[in-house]
Chains A and B, each alone.
Chain A
């Protein structure tokens, strides 16, 4: 079984075919979230059951519009909150994908779930639907922090959800660190609690202030913003703790036990191809990146009147540069290929080597300090021209 951070696995992942399905419904909109989300209080949400019904119908229509493809190696239901629509609806989506494209033997079938939705019934239903991987949006085990993040669950609910999922799925814990007011101690104990649940996978993202969100508004009006140094401390704390717990870091924000790295994730950073279904979903096929509309009404209208819900598409400019830009996110780095000589001569990359941020050896570029990955990516982009 290849290690999560092995080159072999990364190369394999680049050839996998995936499908991403977006389920936009959330109980409420978290103040930092800029995903395509439909939450109570939004326009046209007075009859949520009906909206969900129409959405799912449109989603199925959209799946039928996509030309046939080879069997999928990974299916990922993200959101929003996919768990909110219940196991039966999830099962129907998976089944439809299977009948339309086929789902390969041993494929990854994953969903994101919020702790408050996880019940014994849901677990059973998901297993029956063929789901084999669940990522739980724990975010933190500190109720203060959860309140700041505007989450609908408590730390106890999160712990219970993990306890239910770990035995049955490849189970991932999703965490957010570095919210203003979160102490280093709080984070340390969140990490410890998460690791004690013995998850197969762990993702941790630094809280980011995205333009247009409630958090952004507050920060603009003077509220405390996340501190990058504090986030760096917390990132390093997690790296050490996860390593000690035998979770292997295979990407900037992702850790896994051998055999449990996330295919969909590796495929994204390996420049792999994927279909995107649903609100605001993105697809990548045959060198074209496409994206769907983000307004639910526009999405419904398009599909209900026999149109594609596409908002735009671009042919990838300089795909080889993009490959590098994406590949460096992985612990195993990226094959420099035709860029090897240019990279060796590139002043910016040489500075990064000198500062110990990257390593270039045996034709590969590896980021040694993933906290600076964007600096590296921006420098790599300047290899072109």
Chain B
């Protein structure tokens, strides 16, 4: 065992692309955890999607042995955290397993919104923070300015801030020493009953649920009979181990240590991330403080194109949820789309990732409806209903008012773009809050904006209007009553619930018009004329017609090239398969999402 005094549990927090995954690679390399030969870029990003997109989605952990010059060997447990705004929930989970954090900032970019948001989270969790400036090898690096910004927020002297290049390896040794010197060792009582925090879990086809745990008190031993405190579930510690990063089985994990635990539990939902594991007999009687339950921010309907795939979709969601406890879903029936699920996501990226995984890993053809937020509808009999799907909005006769979720948005931007940002926020019904200068040229802006106004494309808009320089982060800020109405869409005279959306009254008319025009462009011509109408409570506000298709035949097949002809037709057949029948109309998947993506 490693005695707690020689253990450091830490994470790296950073704005996306500031080099967290690369730095983790350098650490692994520098400490010989893996040799350069086995090095793949971004070692900790294991999911295919993470590698492809170059972003970290899930937290991962790895144990590293490091001996500082002239000192004793230490065990450094690095917990990687996601850097995207959608996943701040995962960040807070990883924070709970650490005593310290490296706050990594790109020397050419400076502090960004997620740098701050994550730094605040870490400070609130009582973590010791080591600021680190990365990418000092870049010609555009300005470590002096960035050090000033950091000192302005964290206190201390700019001169003490460590500067590294995760690319060249410069400064890494100094940083490792700082981890050992400045970060506190884990506390916790070795004699107390076992308490271990489940801070992550994933599903392994052969071994069932694998939990990442941080032992806080006592020790966890192979063969122990365990209790998961939130669920009162009993299980055996079948296998315990550590990631080095290759997994190695150990007999015990002591207080302060981080590793994995396999209990043979294969059931969905039985293990909750954030739960505390204790001994079945004479266990602890108080669980560790859990962290915030993840709250979905956006909801969307997911339906199989082929109704027969419903069970497969359920199965796939269940499996995804094993790796991703932030994923919430319930069955939903749509008149237009049949049986499917209403799924809650942490944000739009999360939604995209889940959808992509369902299609790719589970080979499903899906329709995803436009994202919606969760509204609160007050009815005349005094009830308040949570409405995460526009079709669930109560009838107008009994509907008193609708409240919508607001978010506190923090935006950091070069000062020259303040006007542009304000304009965008105003279009989205936002209210201005504080404005602070981080430096003469960088401003921190605070707003309250309806969540529904930012879920579609706010982030993209912000980026494009500030040439990519602004960054943002947001957190929930409660509900407020607004003048909201539901706009319905009728396709071929039949209301298509999947196209209904709740929007502000002032925007309803132009929204309906845009929606009808857009659908006309998105839905291919059919065998008959298809009218499209937008309506508010039965009143038609826009109308378009998709003219019947008249010609769908290609010229002769040249020189008897039947193979090519068949290929083209097979492709056309595949295209048809990916269409959803809505009444008698074939609607392509993209229409369900794209139609509701509104440009300014």
Interface residues of A (CB under 8 A from B): 20, 22, 34-36, 78, 203, 205-206, 208, 228-229, 231-232, 235, 252-253, 268, 274, 276, 280-284, 289, 291, 314, 322, 325-326, 348, 351-352, 355, 357, 370-375, 377-379, 381-382
Contacts and interface: CB of A to CB of B under 8 A. Distances in A.
A373 B561 CA distance: 17
Given A206-B551, A372-B527, A379-B573, A282 B566 contact: no
Nearest to B558: A35
A371 B551 contact: yes
Given A206-B551, A322-B566, 15 more contacts: A208-B554, A229-B550, A229-B551, A268-B557, A282-B562, A283-B560, A284-B562, A314-B563, A372-B553, A374-B569, A374-B572, A375-B527, A375-B572, A379-B573, A382-B576
A235 B561 CA distance: 24
Interface of B: 527-528, 547, 549-563, 566, 569-570, 572-573, 575-577, 584
A378 B562 contact: no
Contacts of A348: 576
8 closest A-B pairs by beta carbon, nearest first, are A232-B550, A378-B572, A355-B527, A205-B555, A282-B560, A373-B553, A228-B551, A378-B573
Contacts of A381: 566, 569-570, 573
A229 B550 CA distance: 6
Nearest to B572: A378
Contacts of A22: 559
Contacts of B563: 282, 289, 291, 314
Nearest to B563: A289
A229 B576 CA distance: 21
Contacts of A268: 557, 560, 562
Nearest to A78: B559
B556 A371 contact: no
Nearest to A357: B527
Given A348-B576, A352-B527, A382-B573, A284 B552 contact: no
A289 B576 contact: no
Contact of A382 (B547, B561, B577): B577
A2 B423 CA distance: 76
A268 B562 CA distance: 8
B556 A351 contact: no
A300 B451 CA distance: 67
Contacts of B557: 268
Nearest to A207: B555
Contacts of B562: 268, 282, 284, 289, 322, 326
B556 A253 contact: yes
A351 B553 CA distance: 18
B552 A371 contact: yes
Given A352-B527, A355-B527, A378-B572, A231 B560 contact: no
Contacts of B566: 322, 325, 381
Contacts of A370: 553
Contact of A252 (B553, B558, B584): B553
A229 B566 CA distance: 25
A377 B552 CA distance: 10
Of the listed residues A232, A280, A282, A378, the one surrounded by the most CB atoms of chain B closer than 10 A to its CB is: A378
Contacts of B560: 20, 268, 274, 276, 281-284
A76 B566 CA distance: 22
Contacts of A326: 562
Nearest to B557: A268
A344 B575 CA distance: 22
A20 B559 contact: yes
Contacts of B554: 208, 374
A348 B572 CA distance: 13
Contact of B552 (A35, A291, A314, A372): A372
Contacts of A351: 527, 584
A333 B416 CA distance: 69
Nearest to B570: A381
Contacts of B572: 374-375, 377-378
A79 to B, nearest CB: 9
Given A352-B527, A374-B569, A382-B573, A280 B550 contact: no
A314 B572 CA distance: 21
Contact of A228 (B550, B556, B569, B577): B550
A271 to B, nearest CB: 8
Contact of B550 (A208, A371, A377): A371
Given A229-B550, A282-B563, A284-B560, A208 B573 contact: no
A240 to B, nearest CB: 15
Contacts of A374: 552-554, 569, 572
A78 B556 CA distance: 13
Most buried by B among A34, A283, A372: A372
A374 B549 CA distance: 12
A61 B44 CA distance: 61
Given A206-B555, A229-B550, A282 B527 contact: no
Most chain A CB neighbours (cut-off 10 Å) among B550, B551, B554, B570: B551
Contacts of B576: 348, 378-379, 382
Contacts of B552: 371-375
Contacts of A229: 547, 550-551
Contacts of A281: 559-560
Nearest to B526: A355
Contacts of B527: 351-352, 355, 357, 372, 375
19 contacts: A35-B558, A78-B559, A205-B556, A253-B556, A281-B559, A283-B560, A355-B527, A355-B528, A357-B527, A370-B553, A371-B550, A372-B527, A372-B553, A374-B552, A375-B527, A377-B572, A378-B573, A381-B569, A381-B573
Contacts of A253: 555-556
A370 B550 CA distance: 10
Nearest to B575: A378
A269 to B, nearest CB: 9
A276 B563 CA distance: 14
Nearest to B528: A355
Nearest to A370: B553
Contacts of A291: 561, 563
B309 to A, nearest CB: 14
Contacts of A382: 573, 576-577
A276 B560 CA distance: 9
Contacts of A78: 559
A276 B559 contact: yes
A232 B556 contact: no
A165 to B, nearest CB: 20
B564 to A, nearest CB: 9
B567 to A, nearest CB: 10
A357 B553 CA distance: 13
Nearest to A383: B573
Contacts of A235: 551
Contacts of A289: 562-563
A228 B551 CA distance: 6
Given A348-B576, A382-B577, A372 B559 contact: no
Nearest to A36: B559
A22 B558 CA distance: 11
A298 B553 CA distance: 33
A145 B190 CA distance: 92
A35 B559 contact: yes
